[in-house]
Structure 1
């Protein structure tokens, strides 16, 4: 990169882009560092859990599997006075009975051997390390209605910083372009810091922009609706809503939990060679519907096939939101479904997670290296006698 006098013309486009880049960087910098570091921690959450928590695995056996209601009954004894949310099966893994509720708030997972009924672990997820990090990454450990808008706004600023950084970085000549793609490790520390900010920022910009945009989809409902509208050709996104059974056909209804076992057994017979995960959502009351979710690729979420049934009649219930039958999803539906998998890099498997980790790590460093550049320039302005005749542009 060449050296040239700084542009002081306040009427130029780059000047105002530079001003916005500076002030938005100062406003969002601390949050970006936080999001980048917590993003790095969460990048390999599943791999770390699998390596350190052996109770997650139960070897596949020739014995018949215990039915969802049987596993739920066993888990209920291990965790009394709580309502089960779902039962998850996956070959080679221990069945998980999930207890999740908003009011009162709790989140537990009971790991039960699906062949013997042995309880291997009762885990309070509110005390789980990764769960605590996730709550910080999503909500800053504040109430969601407060923390999420703060972090999503900082994410939106960061996306602008990446785009404006590319505009400011882009060289005017081929000669300058060759120099701007490499970090000069043997240069003085100020120049090294400058290169780390600009060159590394350039290399991860496109990945980080996708991470930022997917974060905005999760954090801003208006942005999610806008993305859906644009990708669907002007259609509105139907928000997820609870599905209910018909409670009007009989005056003496009781919770038909056994219906979940019938639907689960039927889903197994439909595809005996299925090696993915199956989630069975058993209703909490007489009006709830039974949900069967089959995911052919448990390492991601977007391909899951969701089906809903009336617990009293076992009739299928059609839904209009994006989390229905996979075969019926549109391109816009798939984009919304893919959002989380893109955000964490899982959409591209382990290489994608590695790229997301590297991008998050570098993203966390950018506010720090940028602050060092700004402080250096402030010192030069306050000491004009020591200021060199030329400076980095």
Structure 2
């Protein structure tokens, strides 16, 4: 009786949400290797290593801003010796939103490429994954509902798969195609067997996705793990003191950090936007992930380091609960496990995308 009800729930929710789940899963699979694909296709992301010193931020910022008149650099990132410097231009202001990256030769300042990220292929893929290519205020709630429905689908699918007798479990863990040539049986196996294995990874995708889009869920998840700090990112205020103003504070902080560049793979600096902004300096110990980044904030006048009470501070100050939340994006895309982790995320995303297809075929052939 219970399984009959669960089966009906699984069926009708699947028919209603199948197309959305397919789009979310397939776009997630495509997005997984976006960094690797862009590195392979865009040679301006790299530069020849030279034995000369790299240019300072004060040298590169005017060059980058000259490429995009009327726009200001949001951040500038130096990576490994063979990578271009990235000057990122970003604004979410209504009616004046944009997202560009200007790639610069760190040794000469030459502009190697300008990319409009907002219209790039992988941005379009990401918009499909997060908003189904709908306006954000419509697409985001629809994706959230689809995700919650898929959570019910995953749980109900596990319930339906689970055998009454343990001895029958082995048969449900592998394809039973030798005993039957029926297309119907093969379709059923594709749905049930793949669905069982994919369900456990799908739960990770769902939880990390909900953490990403639902601040309330993320906060509750963080507290349940013992987290005490705020998850809300904010930059501390710089107390104005013109008597201590430096001419090029970004350069001074860069030089200080660059002296210990053996300790990190990239350094990102955020120029101030107002007279009360702090200067943000982000150093990342790893390449390809973000969770181990150190976020530091400095008074733009005195260059005194400013403390923060949220989780986006120095990595060594983060608790276990803080680190899990900082890992969220890297877990979601599989980057936490390196190339193998990304490959797993890619394959499981494809497996998840296949479930609405095989589920529909099972229903159709009935």
TM-score computed with the length of structure 1 as normaliser: 0.88
* Aligned partners of 1:257 and 1:282 also within 8 Å: no
Task: Decide whether the 8 Å contact of 1:69 with 1:257 is kept in 2.
Answer: no
User: Is structure 2 residue 197 aligned with structure 1 residue 208?
Assistant: no
Q: Is the 8 A contact 1:66 1:115 kept in 2?
A: yes
Q: Distance in 2 between matches of 1:257 and 1:47?
A: 39
Quick check: which has more Rg, 1 or 2?
A: 1
2: distance between equivalents of 1:241 and 1:156?
29
| Residue aligning to 1:129 | 121
What does residue 236 of structure 2 align with? 243
Distance 1:264 1:156 in 2: 44
Partner of 2:283 in structure 1? 294
The answer to whether the 8 Å contact 2:229/2:311 transfers is no
1:380 corresponding residue in structure 2: none
Matches within 5 A, 1:224-263: 224-232=218-226, 235=228, 237-247=230-240, 249-250=241-242, 258-263=248-253
Deviation for aligned residue 1:132 = 1.2
Q: Report which stretch shifted further, 152-161 or 286-295.
A: 152-161
Supply the distance in 1 between the matched residues of 2:220 and 2:13 (Cα, whole angstroms).
24
Match of 2:183 in 1: 189
Q: Deviations over 1:103-139 (max 9, x none)?
A: 1100000000010010000111122101111122112
Tell me, in whole angstroms, the C-alpha distance in 1 between the residues paired with 2:185 and 2:66: 64
Query: SS where residue 39 of structure 1 aligns?
Result: helix
Q: How does 1:326-365 map to 2 (within 5 A)?
A: 326-365=315-354
After TM superposition, give the deviation of residue 35 of structure 1 in Å: 0.6
| 4+ residue runs over 3 A deviation | 235-238
Counterpart CA distance in 2 for 1:272 and 1:351 is 27
TM-score of the two chains, using structure 2 as the length reference: 0.94
Question: 1:383 maps to what in 2?
Answer: none
CA contact (8 A) 1:238 1:320 kept: no
338-347 vs 69-78, which moves further = 69-78
Q: 1:253 offset after TM fit, Å?
A: 9.7
SS at 1:273's partner residue? helix
Cα gap change, 1:129/1:240 in structure 2, threshold over 3 Å: closer, same or farther? same
In structure 2, the partner of 1:161 is: 153
Gaps of 5+ in 1: 1-11, 378-393
Q: 1:232 aligns to what SS in structure 2?
A: coil
The whole-number CA distance in structure 2 between the counterparts of 1:253 and 1:151 is 50
Counterparts of 1:92-171 in structure 2 under 5 Å?
A: 92-103=82-93, 104-171=96-163
CA contact (8 A) 1:50 1:56 kept: yes
| Alignment CA distance shift 1:300-1:129 (3 Å) | same
Aligned partners of 1:334, 1:260: CA distance in 2, in Å? Answer: 28
Alpha-carbon RMSD: 1.8
How far apart in 1 are the matches of 2:273 and 2:58? 12
User: How many residue pairs get matched?
Assistant: 361
The answer (yes or no) to whether the contact 2:23–2:132 under 8 Å persists in 1 is no
